[in-house]
A and B are shown apart, each in its own frame.
Chain A
């Protein structure tokens, strides 16, 4: 049996002309397939329309407000993170730019690599000479100082320094324990 156009009419659920309605009724009387389809469609539609609206658990709006606050806090935190990153990137860019400029100025003062090498060797030699002088001075001081005080004098000086340190540490600990200070 031919089911078209009746099958489509049923499934499109559109308004039919009186003639079409009559044809459909006639076909439904003869055709079990289309009658079954029509009954199923009606069954589904009635079943859906009879089912009530579903409610959320009470307090939905309160839970929404909490979620909104959480989201707003998250947005603020994300904004702060972004600001920190942007600041960091700007600083890094500034430092690299400064480095490049300094490098360029440094290289421009020398005409060749040989000259640069010579100057570097000269600077290094001067630095080593200065270190040597300081080392000699320190040796003289170390040899002289023990003679300035008698052994008992050194013991008294060490005692005073230890007592001073102890008082300093104790006062720091007391300050840290004071209420109102984290």
Chain B
């Protein structure tokens, strides 16, 4: 934690909303990203990220300054997303058409091809994660995108390290199977498109 952050947190604890807004600015990207990976669409991710920051602000007195603030914050966001997925019990990754509304292009602005590739990539990630149970998904997200150790994941999700290991074991098997299915589907599409002669139309 840097000095600025410690000052902002101290001020926020004393009830200074503006100080906590600095924290929101500093952590919006990782928190939003986590919520997006968990929930699969930008609308839900925005709502969940906002709620996670509100919960962190409300319970700031429970935060132990000797621990990493990022871990504490991401733990709140993970728990919120897990609860939300459990309550919904719906396929959470069904909304595809809003991708262009939220995706913030890296500078300089991307070409349409780059946007398309990025959309396909995000869609594939969604489809991969979609088969996982909420807590397994959280473990995978924290492990692969945040480089969390088993110990850190255990702390964030309030489970034992052995539970993390078995969740990741189960998740990896499901992901590998899903990946293989995707690969074979893509191969099939590619071979179909190369076999078709220019005179043929897809309808016949």
Contact = CB atoms under 8 A, between A and B. Distances in A.
Interface string B146-183: 00000000000000000001001100110111011001
Contacts of B172: 11, 13, 41, 44
A61 B17 contact: no
A51 interface: yes
A37 interface: yes
B23 to A, nearest CB: 9
Given A53-B30, A58-B104, A61-B25, A48 B125 contact: yes
Interface size, B (range): 35 or more
* Chain B contact surface mostly: helix
A142 interface: no
Given A41-B176, A49-B144, A56-B45, A61 B169 contact: no
Contacts of B165: 12
A43 interface: yes
A137 B42 CA distance: 84
Contacts of B46: 56-57, 60, 63
B24 A43 contact: no
Given A12-B169, A13-B172, A67-B54, A61 B104 contact: no
Nearest to B144: A48
Nearest to B21: A61
A51 B145 CA distance: 9
Interface in B18-39: 21, 24-25, 28-30, 32-33, 36-37
A173 to B, nearest CB: 48
B124 A47 contact: yes
A19 B29 CA distance: 43
Majority SS at the chain A contact face: helix
Interface in A32-87: 36-37, 40-41, 43-45, 47-49, 51-58, 60-61, 63-65, 67-68, 71
A10 B31 CA distance: 30
A68 B175 contact: no
Nearest to A75: B58
B181 to A, nearest CB: 10
Query: What bracket does the count of chain A residues touching chain B fall in?
Result: 20 to 34
Given A12-B165, A44-B128, A48-B145, A64 B179 contact: no
A43 B169 contact: no
B104 A60 contact: no
Contact of A44 (B29, B42, B103, B176): B176
A58 B121 CA distance: 22
A12 B173 CA distance: 10
A58 B54 CA distance: 18
B102 interface: yes
Contacts of B24: 60-61, 64
Contacts of B49: 56, 60
A40 B53 contact: no
Contact of B57 (A12, A52, A68): A68
Listed from nearest, the 6 A-B pairs whose CB atoms lie closest are A40-B176, A55-B104, A48-B144, A56-B32, A40-B179, A61-B24
12 contacts: A37-B176, A40-B177, A41-B175, A44-B175, A44-B179, A47-B128, A49-B144, A54-B122, A55-B29, A60-B28, A61-B24, A63-B46
Interface of A: 8, 11-13, 36-37, 40-41, 43-45, 47-49, 51-58, 60-61, 63-65, 67-68, 71
